[in-house]
Amino acid sequence: MRARPALTPRRLWLWLAAGAVFAVGAAVLALFLGMPELDLGTALSDASSWQYAALHKLQLPRISQGLVVGATLAASGAALQGLLRNPLADPFILGVSGGAALGSAAVTLVGFGTALVAPLGGFLGAMGALLVVTALATEAGRIAPLRMLLIGVVFNALAGAGLMVLQALADPGAVQLTLMRLMGSVGADPSEPLLLPILTVASGVGLVAMLLSARGLNLLALGDDTARSLGVSPDRLRLVLFVVISVAVGATVAVTGLIGFVGLIVPHAVRLVVGPDHRLVLPLSALVGAGFVVVADASVSALAPALGTELPVGVVTALVGGPLFLALLRHRPTRVAE
Interacting residues toward another protein by CB under 8 A? 34-35, 37, 49-50, 52-54, 57-59, 62, 111-115, 118, 168-169, 171-173, 176-177, 180-181, 185, 187-191, 193, 255-257, 301, 304, 307-312
Which element (helix H / strand E) includes 143? strand 142-143
Angle, helices 278-307 vs 195-212, to 10°: value is: 150
Nearest distance, CB of residue 187 and another protein, angstroms:
3
Taking Cα atoms as reference points, which of 57, 76, 67, 81 lies closest to residue 30?
Answer: 67
CB nearer to another protein: give 62 or 268.
Answer: 62
* 81 vs 256 by CB, closer to another protein: 256
Contact criterion met (CB below 8 Å) for 281 and 19:
no
* Min dist. Cβ of residue 19 to another protein (A): 27
Helix (H, G, I), strand (E, B) or coil at 6: coil
Nearer to another protein, 176 or 226 (CB): 176
Residue 131 vs 311, nearer CB to another protein: 311
3 versus 306: smaller Cβ distance to another protein: 306
Handedness of CA 207, 209, 212, 215 (dihedral sign): negative
Least distance from another protein to the Cβ atom of residue 251, Å? 14
Smallest gap from Cβ 29 to another protein, in A, equals 16
What string of DSSP letters covers 159-214? HHHHHHHHHHHS-HHHHHHHHHHHT------TT-TTHHHHHHHHHHHHHHHHHHTH
Q: How far is the CB of 249 from another protein (least distance, A)?
A: 17
Burial label, 288 (beta-carbon count in 10 A; 0-12, 13-18, 19+): buried
Residues counted in the chain: 338
